[in-house]
Each structure stands twice: as C-alpha cells, then as structure tokens.
Amino acid sequence: MADLLVSVGIDIGTTTTQVIFSHIVVEDLSSGFSVPRIEITSKEIVHRGEICFTPLLSDNEIDMAGVARIVEREYARAGIDKRSIATGAVVITGETARKRNASEVLYHLADFAGDFVVAVAGPRQESVLAARGAGADVYAKVHGTTAGNYDIGGGTSNFAMFDQGNLAAAGCLDIGGRLLRIDPAGPTVAAVAPKIQRLCADQNIALRAGGPAGPAELARLAEAMAELLAMSLGLLPKSDFYPQILTEPGRDIVLPRPLANLCFSGGVADYVYADSSEADPFRYGDLGILLGQAVRRSPALGRIPRFAGAETIRATVVGAGSHTVELSGSTIEYDPGLLPLKSLPILKLTEAEASSGATLAQAVRSKLEWFQTDGHWQSVAIAFKGPRSPSFAAVQDLADGIVAGAAELRAAGLPVVVIAENDLAKILGQSIRRRLPGQKGFVCVDAVRVEEGDYVDIGLPTAQGRVLPVAVKTLLFE
Amino acid sequence: MFAESDVRQMVRDVLADLLATPAGASRPPASSEVEEGQVPDVTAVSTKDEFHVPNPANRTAYLEAKQKTVARLGVGRAGPRYNTWSMLHFRADHATAQDAVFTDLDDSLVKAQGFVAGQTLCQSKDEFLTRPDRGRLLDDETKALFSRELPHGGQVTLMVGDGLSSSAFVNIPDIVPAIKQGLKGYGIDVGPVPYVKYCRVGAMDDLGALVGSEVVCLLIGERPGLATGESMSAYMAYRPNAERPESWRTVVSNIYSGGTPPAEAGAHVATLIKRILDKKTSGVELGL
C-alpha cells in the first residue's frame, strides 16, 4: 500500500525566489514475512513555479509580504490546497540569509506554507540541497564514483561532493553573479559587494561602484572568480586572498577523495553549459553571464569531467522540496500527540558516552546545560549511534540512563526525544515507556544520522503510523 | 593428429613411468610433527567483506554493493571452478547449517530459561526430520504436563520450539523479555512459557487447541541457509487449531543479530500480538 505525500519547496535566494511542489511516494518494501521496511520509492516534481526576483524592502530587509504573495500565487497556480501539504522545506540562501529579518521571514514562511514545512538555513546545507537537487548524489551512486556539484548563484557558490551515495564534502564561497551589479546604460558599475571590491584590489582590477564597467576589467574579475572556484577544489594552488572568500571563515572545502565528476547548477550554470558568446552580457544587469562564461572557459575547472545535472537554476528549490525529508526506521515508538516537533537542537553523545546507562545519564545531564536559554530548559533531541543488535539487558541499561539523564527535561514538562542510528528504537522506546508510566512525552526513532550542531524536525506519522518523516538540517544566520 | 593406437601407447608409457616412481616420492613426506599455529579460520571474515575479483574496474562500488547482500558476489574463480577460499567458506557455512539442524538443544539452556519443557510425538532427530506430521502433534505426556502447568483460556501463550535450528535458541534471552515487556505495556501478562522439542510450526495449533488462549506466538528456529544458522521466526495466530489454513498465521522471520535484532523484533512482535487481539484475526486477513 503506497502513501502519497505532497511536498513544497521554497527557496528565497540572493537574486530569485522560487517555489516547487512534488509528490513523494512512501511504500512498504518488506516481503510481508519480516518487519516492515518503509521507504521513499519515488519523488516527482508536479509543479515548477515561476522564477521571481526576491522582493526586498531595502538592502538589508526582505519584503516578507512580497515573498508570501509569490508563494500564495504558486499554490493557486498549482491548484494545491495548503492543508494538503504533508512536508517540505523553506530555505533561505546566499546573501538573503544575511538580511536583518532573515530568521523572522524563514519561520513565518515555514508556518505559512504548511503544518510540517521545515525551516532551513546555512551555507553547507544549502550546498547539499543544491547538489541533491542537481542529482550529484544519484550520479555518484549509479556510476559508483565521486561526483560534485557547484551551485553558482547570485550571492554564493555552494559546493557539495558525494562518494557513492554518501555526502563526502560541502562548503561555500562568497562568489556569485549578483555581487557586482551593472547599469547597462554606460555601462557603469552600479554596486560591488565589499568582498568583491577587495578581490578587485587584490587583482589590480579597476572596478568600483559608480565607475565605468570596462569589458576587459569585467572579464578579468570573472576569471579571478573562476580561479577561486578552481582553488577550492584543489585544481590551482590557493592564493593568499583565497581564505577571505570562504563564506564561513576557516571552513574550507576538504575533499577526502579525488573528485571524478563535476556538474554546475544555480542561475549561472546555464551559461557554463551553453555557448553564450552572442548573448547580451548585461541582460540581467550583473556579472552572472560573464561569470558563467569564465567558468566554462576555465582550463583548471575543465580538468574534471563535466556532466549535466538534473536541474540548474532550480537545483536548490528542488533539493528543498524533494530531498529535505527522510523517513525514520520502520520499527519505532512514540506518543503521537507530541508531533510535529520543530527545530530541536541535537544533543549528540559520543560512542563512549552512550556505552552504558550511567555514562549516558551523566553526559546528558551535563550537556543539557548548554541548551539552557535564560535559565530555562529547552527541548532537545538526544542522539547517539547505539549498539548494533543490542541485548535486552543493554537496552534496559540505556533506557535507565535516558530516563535519569532527562529528568530535568521531564520536570520542565518537555518531551524526551531520542534519535539512534542503529535499529533499536522500538525496544528502547517500549523500555522508556515502561519507566514513565502514564506519561505522554517521548519520541524514539532510529535509522537517522545527526551531528552536533544540527537541528531536527519530526513530522506527523505516515504509512499507517509506522514511520515518521524526519528532516535533519542546519539553522545558521549571519 | 594421432592415430588411436598412438594415443593408447602414450598413455601406457606415461602410466608405466608413474608406476615406476618409488612410492611416496611425489607426495609430501609423511610426518608426525605438528606445526605451531593454526590454519586461518575462513569464516572469520564475512562473505560481505571478502572480494576476490582480480583487477576490478571499480572495487569501491563492488564492495558497496556486496554490503547489501549475503549472496556470494565477487568470489573469483579458478578456471570454471571456485577458488580455494570460496570452496572452504561454502563448506564451512554448510557445516554450520548442518550442525544447526542435527544438533539437539542442550536441555540445561531450556531449564535456565525456566520454560515448561515437553516434546512432540517424534522420538529422535531422524524421526523429526523424516516425519513432519508427527512434529506437529504434542505427545500425551506433554499434553498432560502443559494442561497442568499452563493457564487455560488466557489472552496470549508465548511458546518456544527448536524447529530446524537449535542454534536459533541464542536469540531467546533477548526476544522473550522484549515481547513480555511490550505486552505488559499493553496491560497483557504472559504466563509460563512452554518449550517443545522436535517442534514443527503446526505444533502451535495443537497447543492452541489444548490451552485455548486467544493468541499463540511460537518462536522457532528457521531452516538454516548458508547465511546463518541462528535465524528465528515468530509465528502468531488468533485461536489457532489444526483446521486453520497456513494463511491464518502472521510471521516475522529473519530474526538474528545480522537481520532484525532479536530485542527490536520482540518489541515489534508485541505490537503485532496486540493488533491480532484487537482485530480478532491473524495472517493474511490482518492486512498488514
């Protein structure tokens, strides 16, 4: 029996705002002679919204009402009732994530878009969403190789690499087509982002806001940007300037294995794949087209075989709409009344800390303090890998540890949320339930991998209540 | 081309040469010396991690695929035959399966669990293997014992049998308490657990008719394959009796450390039993 989830993806980017809707099919793949194995069996985009410029009130403020109107219009065009939305994500990307009201807009839109629409922000997750949207993960898995995607947008260039089916690297550079805006009448430079101004200074390129936009200078700047992209993949030696271009200071892209295949997405990507030498380079009033041409011609970037991704300009929004949500394991235990749970920070335990009930309780108690805000306890998800095929006795010990460690949370009326990687959530959940008789207040899921610093959303049950949709995400605003 | 007579002559010559060689000269010297050390255990490395294809085009992708199956992929070959490693591993796994089938379960293990121990009409392993019909019926002494020791007309009877693998009993200490805990969470208590030696799945019908409980859940060793000898199944039926078709049974199979972990499976089985009690039906009709 298949379940159909209608999912929405919304991307509020530096240059454009986009909406897509997709259908996610969930089925039980088990033989019927074993425990259920419920998986996502297909994802299909059913409506691709119009690509609109992101409405801004000022240089530092997003026009929330304007964004909401775009979203509302796409719901109407797709003929989709907001109440039928089961899941999805709103992602705020690139320069837009740095606006004064970025977090407010994000949470507001997530609530506005549907009951379980996940709010996502952060350069590395943006990279992962774009790469999944472009299909780099599938390419790497199907061809048994490594594949990367560079999503070159208006404000940032986001890279992620997959090795077979697994995420291997992710990072972000402050390089984008809209960081230098051009007034085609002249042409003159309308605006330059501070980092790009510093890049011009470093490269002795005479471009400044209000000054002339000379074709030779613009071409040299685009080439310098393409070289920085090549440096990030180890294709050129890193310049002294390079560390400055990283979106997150000190968080360089580290490739654990050589990158064998590369594709490009984002608004600039169309000019990487197609010869656009005849096009008007100032069509969008920015450096985008010239940047695409520079990437296309870059000998260093050309050293990695290039493949065509599934999406270009829509990669990030497709990633948000179709690839944010995964399913928990199929044998889990939870109190339905608690769901959905949104944006819980992860309290991650090391394998040593989760090796016994006593160490687990101790670690939870001490780490919980990190999550106190103004002296108040905050909901968290306690996460650990957990043993493979644990004995019944070992599970009892862990359950004791969780109940003891989370005593403060329970006293504050907060739920006990447990996330494990290995298959033990049902027995652990039942063991916790036995220790909390009469209390409704826990969720225990498995087959989900999270890291310290992540956040998690857990949605309403699907497949006759046997699985929960889970979104592991980051929330980083600058 | 050789004439047939030439060939005959060549064979004769070769045989004569061989026979003329002093006995034992081409064999390793017979010795009573025992070398130090041990022959490496071929089963120490899982078939999932052994890879014998020379010069693979993509080793990483092949190994990744192998992690998803216990099928013997990429074992290599010597001409048209298995290589030595594959052959030995196959023989070792087959021996494990044979042991699981032919070994009687140590009675002390049953006693340690506090089970009420009985048996079917079968009197020996041989009879058990050759007479499935007799493995489905409890013997008179066992019936009398179970009648005396087990509650009648209860909600759930949890039952354990050796089945075709006595090695599967290794799961019992983890799955039984998990089922009991799960049922207790639903307010259902489970009485003493009967253990049946030389047990076929059908024996749960005989027991069900005897004690008249609503649900019988039988934990029984599965016929072993080459992947493991420890796999166990849980068969559940609502008011089982010999008139019911096979489709009346709900089953969870592949319970062992490498499949569904026994403690996790027990928690799931408890949920299924609750569902069978609620719906008053089992098997295909339960509609999972």
| Residue-wise DSSP of A3-36 | EEEEEEEEEE-SSEEEEEEEEEEEEE-S-SSSS-
The per-residue pLDDT for B19 is 64
By residue range, what is the domain housing residue B222?
107-286
Instruction: Give the mean pLDDT of B204-222.
Output: 97
Residue B253 to residue A389, Cβ atoms within 8 A: no
The per-residue pLDDT for B24 is 46
Q: Are residues A72 and A206 in the same domain?
A: no
Helix (H, G, I), strand (E, B) or coil at A264: strand
Q: Which one of A143, A388, A426 has the shortest CB-CB distance to B268? A: A426
Closest among A8, A286, A353 to A152, alpha carbons compared: A286
Restricting to A residues 432-461, those with a Cβ less than 8 Å away from any Cβ of B are: 433-434
- Quote the minimal CA–CA distance from B69 to chain A in Å: 15
A314 part of a folded domain: no
Residue A144 to residue B60, Cβ atoms within 8 A: yes
Q: Are residues B143 and B44 in the same domain?
A: no
The CATH number of the domain where B64 resides is what? 1.10.30.40
Q: Are residues A143 and A112 in the same domain?
A: no
The per-residue pLDDT for B216 is 98
Q: Are residues B122 and B206 in the same domain?
A: yes
Closest among A412, A438, A417 to A428, alpha carbons compared: A417
| Residue-wise DSSP of A271-303 | HHHS--TTS-TTTTSBSHHHHHHHHHH-TTGGG
- Quote the minimal CA–CA distance from B183 to chain A in Å: 10
- Give the distance between the most distant pair of CA atoms in chain B: 89
pLDDT tens column, A159-184: 999 998 889 999 999 999 999 999 99
A279 part of a folded domain: yes
A235 part of a folded domain: yes
Instruction: Give the mean pLDDT of A101-112.
Output: 91
Pairing of strands A455-458, A442-445: unpaired
**Residue B288: its chain A contacts at CB < 8 A?**
32, 36
The per-residue pLDDT for B17 is 73
Q: Looking at A95, A121, A147, which one is the last position of a domain? A: A121
- Quote the minimal CA–CA distance from B30 to chain A in Å: 48
- Quote the minimal CA–CA distance from B55 to chain A in Å: 16
Pairing of strands A416-420, A442-445: parallel
Q: Are A308 and A273 in contact (CB under 8 A)?
A: yes
Which residue's entry shows tokens 């719901």?
A75
Q: Are residues A152 and A117 in the same domain?
A: no
Instruction: Give the mean pLDDT of A310-334.
Output: 94
Give the total number of structural domains in chain A. Answer: 3
C-alpha span between A338 and A107 (Å, rounded):
20
C-alpha span between A273 and A262 (Å, rounded):
12
Residue A32 to residue B288, Cβ atoms within 8 A: yes
Q: Are residues B43 and B119 in the same domain?
A: no
A116 part of a folded domain: yes
C-alpha span between A289 and A267 (Å, rounded):
9
Q: Are residues B27 and B95 in the same domain?
A: yes
Q: Which one of B58, B252, B254 has the shortest CB-CB distance to A144? A: B58
Q: Looking at B82, B101, B120, which one is the last position of a domain? A: B101
Token digits for B194? 């009967």
A41 part of a folded domain: yes
What b/e sequence results for A359-376 when a residue is b if at least 16 CB atoms lie within 10 Å of its CB, and e otherwise? bbbebbeebbeebeeeee
Residue A388 to residue B257, Cβ atoms within 8 A: yes
The per-residue pLDDT for A478 is 57
Helices (H), chain B: 4-20, 59-66, 84-102, 107-112, 125-130, 140-149, 172-185, 203-211, 262-279
A320 part of a folded domain: no
Instruction: Give the mean pLDDT of A35-63.
Output: 93
Give the total number of structural domains in chain B. Answer: 2
Burial category of B146 from C-beta neighbours within 10 Å (exposed 0-12, middle 13-18, buried 19 and up): buried
Q: Are residues A291 and A152 in the same domain?
A: yes
Q: Which one of B252, B261, B288 has the shortest CB-CB distance to A423? A: B261
Q: Are A127 and A159 in contact (CB under 8 A)?
A: yes
Token digits for A155? 């404000």
Q: Are residues A61 and A155 in the same domain?
A: no
**Residue B227: its chain A contacts at CB < 8 A?**
none
Q: Are residues B152 and B257 in the same domain?
A: yes
Question: Which pLDDT band, with edges at 50, 70 and 90, does A95 fall under?
Answer: confident
Residue B262 to residue A389, Cβ atoms within 8 A: yes
Q: Are residues B87 and B198 in the same domain?
A: no
- Quote the minimal CA–CA distance from A33 to chain B in Å: 5
Q: Are residues A347 and A241 in the same domain?
A: no
**Residue B252: its chain A contacts at CB < 8 A?**
33-35
Q: What angle do CA B86, B89, B92 make, to 5 degrees?
A: 150
The CATH number of the domain where A274 resides is what? 3.30.420
Q: Looking at A285, A309, A333, which one is the last position of a domain? A: A309
Q: Are residues B125 and B81 in the same domain?
A: no
Residue A42 has pLDDT above 50, yes or no: yes
Residue B41 has pLDDT above 90, yes or no: no
Q: What angle do CA A476, A62, A185 make, to 5 degrees?
A: 120
pLDDT tens column, B218-246: 999 999 988 889 999 999 999 999 999 99
Nearest-CA residue of chain B relative to A434? B185
Instruction: Give the mean pLDDT of A444-461.
Output: 92
Which residue's entry shows tokens 């949500």?
A325
By residue range, what is the domain housing residue A453?
341-458
Residue A357 has pLDDT above 90, yes or no: yes
C-alpha span between A381 and A154 (Å, rounded):
35
- Quote the minimal CA–CA distance from B228 to chain A in Å: 15
Percent of chain B with pLDDT over 90: 72
The per-residue pLDDT for A32 is 78
Q: Are residues A88 and A225 in the same domain?
A: no
The per-residue pLDDT for A301 is 97
**What's the Rg (C-alpha) of chain A?**
24
Q: Looking at B75, B101, B127, which one is the last position of a domain? A: B101
Closest among B79, B95, B81, B106 to B43, alpha carbons compared: B95
The CATH number of the domain where A67 resides is what? 3.30.420.40
Residue B23 has pLDDT above 80, yes or no: no
**Residue B177: its chain A contacts at CB < 8 A?**
392
Which of B186, B264, B275, B278 to probe the A interface (max A CBs under 10 A)? B264
Closest among B249, B242, B145, B267 to B197, alpha carbons compared: B145
The CATH number of the domain where B255 resides is what? 3.40.50.11240
For chain B, the 3-state helix, strand and coil shares in percent, each to the nearest 5, are 45, 15, 45
The per-residue pLDDT for B30 is 59
Q: Are A287 and A10 in contact (CB under 8 A)?
A: no
Q: Are residues B163 and B24 in the same domain?
A: no
Q: Are residues B151 and B239 in the same domain?
A: yes
Q: Are A274 and A254 in contact (CB under 8 A)?
A: no
pLDDT tens column, B49-79: 889 999 999 898 899 889 888 889 999 999 9
Which of A27, A392, A464 to probe the B interface (max B CBs under 10 A)? A392
The per-residue pLDDT for A164 is 87
C-alpha span between A330 and B108 (Å, rounded):
36
The per-residue pLDDT for B27 is 54
Residue A290 has pLDDT above 60, yes or no: yes
For residues B65 and B31, the model is more confident at: B65
Give the residues across from A476 on adjacent strands: none
Question: Which pLDDT band, with edges at 50, 70 and 90, does B22 fall under?
Answer: low
Residue A392 to residue B60, Cβ atoms within 8 A: no
Q: Is the CB of A135 inside 8 Å of chain B's CB atoms?
A: no
Dihedral over alpha carbons A319, A466, A390, A34 (to 10 degrees): -110
The per-residue pLDDT for A31 is 81
Give the residues across from A18 on adjacent strands: A11
C-alpha distances out from residue A273 to A95, A293, A309, B53, Å: 25, 9, 10, 39
Q: Are residues A117 and A156 in the same domain?
A: no
Instruction: Give the mean pLDDT of A348-355.
Output: 95
Q: Are residues A245 and A380 in the same domain?
A: no
Residue A434 to residue B185, Cβ atoms within 8 A: yes
**Residue A431: its chain B contacts at CB < 8 A?**
181
Q: Are residues A10 and A47 in the same domain?
A: yes
| Residue-wise DSSP of A323-384 | SSEEE--SS-EE-GGG--EEEEEEEE--TTGGGSHHHHHHHHHHHHGGG-BTTB----EEEE
Percent of chain A with pLDDT over 90: 81
Q: Are residues A146 and A102 in the same domain?
A: no
A131 part of a folded domain: no
Token digits for A96? 């837009």
Q: Are residues B282 and B139 in the same domain?
A: yes
Q: Looking at B101, B121, B154, which one is the last position of a domain? A: B101
Residue A430 to residue B181, Cβ atoms within 8 A: yes
Token digits for A365? 């108690």
> Which residue type, as a one-letter code, is found at position A312?
T
pLDDT tens column, A419-452: 999 999 999 999 999 998 777 789 999 999 998 8
Q: Are residues B113 and B97 in the same domain?
A: no
C-alpha span between B126 and B179 (Å, rounded):
32
Burial category of A294 from C-beta neighbours within 10 Å (exposed 0-12, middle 13-18, buried 19 and up): buried
Q: Are residues B58 and B139 in the same domain?
A: no
pLDDT tens column, A113-156: 888 899 988 899 999 999 999 999 999 999 989 999 999 999 99
Q: Which one of A33, A165, A424 has the shortest CB-CB distance to B264? A: A424
Backbone angles phi, psi at A404, to 5 degrees: -70, -45
Question: Which pLDDT band, with edges at 50, 70 and 90, does B112 fall under?
Answer: very high
A73 part of a folded domain: yes
Q: Are residues A156 and A285 in the same domain?
A: yes
Restricting to A residues 241-270, those with a Cβ less than 8 Å away from any Cβ of B are: none
Three-state SS string over A390-417 comes to CCHHHHHHHHHHHHHHCHHHHHCCCCEE
Percent of chain B with pLDDT over 70: 94
Residue B267 to residue A426, Cβ atoms within 8 A: yes
Residue B3 has pLDDT above 90, yes or no: no
Instruction: Give the mean pLDDT of B164-193.
Output: 96
Instruction: Give the mean pLDDT of A320-345.
Output: 92
Nearest-CA residue of chain A relative to B176? A392
Q: Which one of A33, A36, A424 has the shortest CB-CB distance to B251? A: A33
C-alpha distances out from residue B92 to A429, B42, B95, B262, Å: 38, 8, 5, 25
Residue B15 has pLDDT above 80, yes or no: no
The per-residue pLDDT for B69 is 86
Closest among B69, B64, B63 to A165, alpha carbons compared: B64
**Residue B271: its chain A contacts at CB < 8 A?**
426
User: How many CB pairs lie under 8 A apart between chains A and B?
Assistant: 85
